[in-house]
Amino acid sequence: MRLKGVSNKMTLSFGMPDGKILCMTEVAATKPKKINLRRPDVMKEVQAEVVTHYRSTLVEYIREHDNRVVVPGRMTIRLAKQFGFCYGVERAIDLAYAARKVFPEPKRIFLLGEIIHNPEVNEQIEQMGIRAIASRPSQEELDDLTADDVVIIPAFGTEVSTRQAIQQKGCLMVDTTCGDVMSVWKRVKQYSKDQVTSIIHGKAWHEETKATSSQATAANGHYLVVFTLEETERICDYILNGGDKEAFLESFKGAYSDGFDPDVHLNAVGVANQTTMLRGETEEVQRRLKDALEKKYGTKDLDQHFRYFDTICSATQDRQDALGKLLKEPMDLLIVVGGYNSSNTSHLAEMGEAKLPTYFIKNAAKMESAEVISHFNQHKQEELRTRNWLPEGDIVIGITAGASCPNNLIEDAIRRLFELKSVPLAMAFPEEVISISKP
């Protein structure tokens, strides 16, 4: 790529390996540079590579056979009807792969944090020479960036200040932010414009919620992030009865905007949520806040004090609904496959835990033996080792996976279960499926 600086403008021309010029445009130095990576020739190569890395013929075979594998007298595996990669994740991965194709090494490509919350996928991206920097880059990392670099924004987006800093450096940004995340931003920005405080149901430490919160403040508004129903209750109590302001703020440390004053900014609130929350919980948060504001201001004026917009994405919803249905069937245990920092996956595990023994694992290797499994306990935020997890005899095992988990990892888990139960794969799958899929 060549850059010719003219005052605060620059001319960009993207040279392709075959010597052709891809596009040429003149932009202000602080305006984002744009490039179309989704060209048919690039996407054809990307698709071929993505399929090789993440596809599973074995999982596809199970999907085509009513999402279940039955080996009479030995074991049954049941997959949820919806699981694994969502459209937002697929798009983000495609764009990261396309960026590497359009900008081969030695061109520097950086990624803000993780492309998605799955360690195996991030490792694959790293192997392509895409370097991860902090999701909120340090000054040192920003100083190292030049206008010749490419920076990938992950599927859950980035904070407004980070985007601006990268833009100032003149880097080419490959923005993979999911459209569903941007819908939440739109909602929150509108709340701010209307001087309504955003109550964001989400995890204050999660990249998506940080990005969403930053949209509220960028539009000169305020926000407060609420995670649990206990926290929601605290807010409701303050709305109705007031209280010790300092203690209230201390209990929400790190989860509200600068200058947030509960005596002023809880008078008109709008609820939005991180796209991957548990629907039932989000509905309860909004119901309790609505009740509190209705009690305080009356039904007639409620719309001046309370707004709500459901921003759970359809992919999260579909996976929760599918698991809900699966959990109605008799099963001995549930395996949930996915990254431990994946929000939507942790909610699937939470749904399972409420019904039956559930093991949240990031890959098949965590099923160490038929006696021991290492699995993530999200309440303790640590991996635990549990003994005697796999019952003997004919059992039914449910499997699901979060939106950031590729099918090849689900296949690994299924193969491992067959191995641990000493059931030959040939008892359940045709030879061609077993051999094509062999990891």
Residues 152 and 99 sit within 8 Å (Cβ to Cβ): yes
Q: Which stretch binds ligand SF4 (CB under 6 A): 84-92, 130-138, 190-198, 217-225?
A: 84-92
Q: How many Å apart are CA 374 and CA 368, to the nearest integer?
A: 7
- Stretch 342-381: interaction string toward ligand SF4, x if CB under 6 A: --x-------------------------------------
Kind of pairing between the strands at 223-226 and 197-201: parallel
Sequence-separated (6 or more) residues with CB below 8 Å from residue 419: none
CB count, 10 Å around CB of 181?
A: 22
Q: Is 76 in the site for ligand SF4 (CB under 6 A)?
A: no
Q: Is 86 in the site for ligand SF4 (CB under 6 A)?
A: yes
In the complex, least distance from residue 72 CB atom to ligand SF4, rounded to whole angstroms: 37
Phi-psi category of residue 34: left, alpha or beta, with phi > 0 → left and psi -120 to 50 → alpha: beta
Q: Is 313 in the site for ligand SF4 (CB under 6 A)?
A: yes
Residue 64, classed as helix, strand or coil, is: helix
Nearer to ligand SF4, 165 or 181 (CB): 181
Nearer to ligand SF4, 172 or 405 (CB): 405
Nearer to ligand SF4, 87 or 260 (CB): 87
Q: Is 155 in the site for ligand SF4 (CB under 6 A)?
A: yes
Report which of 212, 211, 354 is spatially closest to residue 271, judged by C-alpha positions. Answer: 212
Which one of residues 56, 69, 84, 88 is an interface residue with ligand SF4 (CB under 6 A)? 88
Q: In what order do the strands lie in the sheet with 269-273?
A: 223-226, 197-201, 269-273, 306-308
For 154, 358, 383, the CA distances from 194, given in Å and listed in that order, are: 29, 44, 44
If binding means CB under 6 A, how many residues of this protein chain bind ligand SF4?
A: 15
Q: Is 153 in the site for ligand SF4 (CB under 6 A)?
A: no
Catalytic-labelled residue, pool 49, 208, 230, 419: 208
In the complex, least distance from residue 37 CB atom to ligand SF4, rounded to whole angstroms: 18
Active site residue 392: no
Token pair belonging to 246: 């300092």
Quote the distance between the C-alpha of residue 213 and its chain's center.
16
Q: Is 181 in the site for ligand SF4 (CB under 6 A)?
A: yes
Backbone phi, then psi, for 214, in 5-degree steps?
A: -65, -25
Q: Is 87 in the site for ligand SF4 (CB under 6 A)?
A: yes
Q: Is 130 in the site for ligand SF4 (CB under 6 A)?
A: no
- For the segment 328-347, give every residue that binds ligand SF4 (CB under 6 A): 344
Give the DSSP letter of residue 171.
P
Q: To which H or E segment does residue 291 belong?
A: helix 279-297
Report which of 362, 280, 340 is spatially closest to residue 316, judged by C-alpha positions. Answer: 280
- For the segment 216-235, give every residue that binds ligand SF4 (CB under 6 A): none
- Stretch 261-290: interaction string toward ligand SF4, x if CB under 6 A: --------------xx--------------
With the C-alpha atoms ordered 169, 172, 174, 179, is the resulting torsion angle positive or negative? positive
In the complex, least distance from residue 335 CB atom to ligand SF4, rounded to whole angstroms: 20
Nearer to ligand SF4, 318 or 332 (CB): 318
- For the segment 394-433, give every residue that binds ligand SF4 (CB under 6 A): 403
Q: Which residues bind ligand SF4 (CB under 6 A)?
A: 86-89, 155, 178, 180-181, 275-276, 313, 315-316, 344, 403
Q: Which residues are marked as active site?
A: 208
